[in-house]
Amino acid sequence: MGEETKNNRSRNTALVLIGAGLFLLLDHTIGFFPILAIILVLLGIHRVRSRKERKGYVLIGIGAVILFGDHITIVLSIVLISLGLFFIKSKQVHKDDTYIQKQKLMDSVRLGREPWILRNSSTWYIIGETYIDLSLAILEQRETTVIFQGIVGDVDIKVPDDIGISVTSSVTFGQIQVGNERESGVMNKLTWQSANYEHCDHRVKLVLFYIVGDIKIKVL
């Protein structure tokens, strides 16, 4: 059995456990349909990560429609709180105002197939996916800070070993994997820093916060 097959089975098991736990925990507080919506979103994230993007986005979309259709006040509250926290976090983390800030309803970020410039930035979206390979990134500063935050996010970042990396991440529902460290389930937080971070010529500080998310950061 290949390593990828084992990882897929572990991820499926995690999703089933998360779904069952959420149902038992929240059924008597916010009802069945919000729970169903969250499960559909989690399954959609898994599909997207498994390269079945069309089916994944359909599941995520159905989950979002259920939430918006029957519980617009709850969803709107979550969106506004998340966006407010995003602005606060951006000001706290970035040392000055020379950074790029973006807010989108839906977004797909794919960088790394050709040389590109990595700059200080903050990005927020309701639903989105982020694939970044830092192997071809051009780093103009010794330290670059990048924030990704939102409601539903699928994040896959690859970091070469010649770049120092610091990660601060939080996912309310889902999983986080950085190097060999992994957290999954509910209310996950993971802080990680590479051994060479303080001594590298170039280093990247990643700050990641999602309500529902699947974060995977590989150090090559």
The CA-to-CA distance between both ends of the chain, in Å, stands at 23
Could you tell me if 19 and 39 are in contact, meaning their C-beta atoms sit under 8 angstroms apart? yes
pLDDT digits (tens, 9 = 90+) for 63-91: 766 666 655 666 667 777 777 777 777 77
Question: 9 forms bridges with which residues in the sheet?
Answer: none
d(CA 174, CA 43): 10
pTM of the model: 0.66
CB contact set of 161 (below 8 Å; sequence gap of 6+):
194, 196, 219, 220
pLDDT digits (tens, 9 = 90+) for 124-141: 888 888 999 999 999 988
pLDDT digits (tens, 9 = 90+) for 166-175: 999 988 878 8
Nearest to 62 by CA among 82, 38, 86: 38
Angle between helices 53-70 and 32-49 (to 10 degrees): 160
What's CA 32's distance to the chain center, in Å?
25
Q: What residue spans define the domains of the chain?
A: 3-74, 96-219
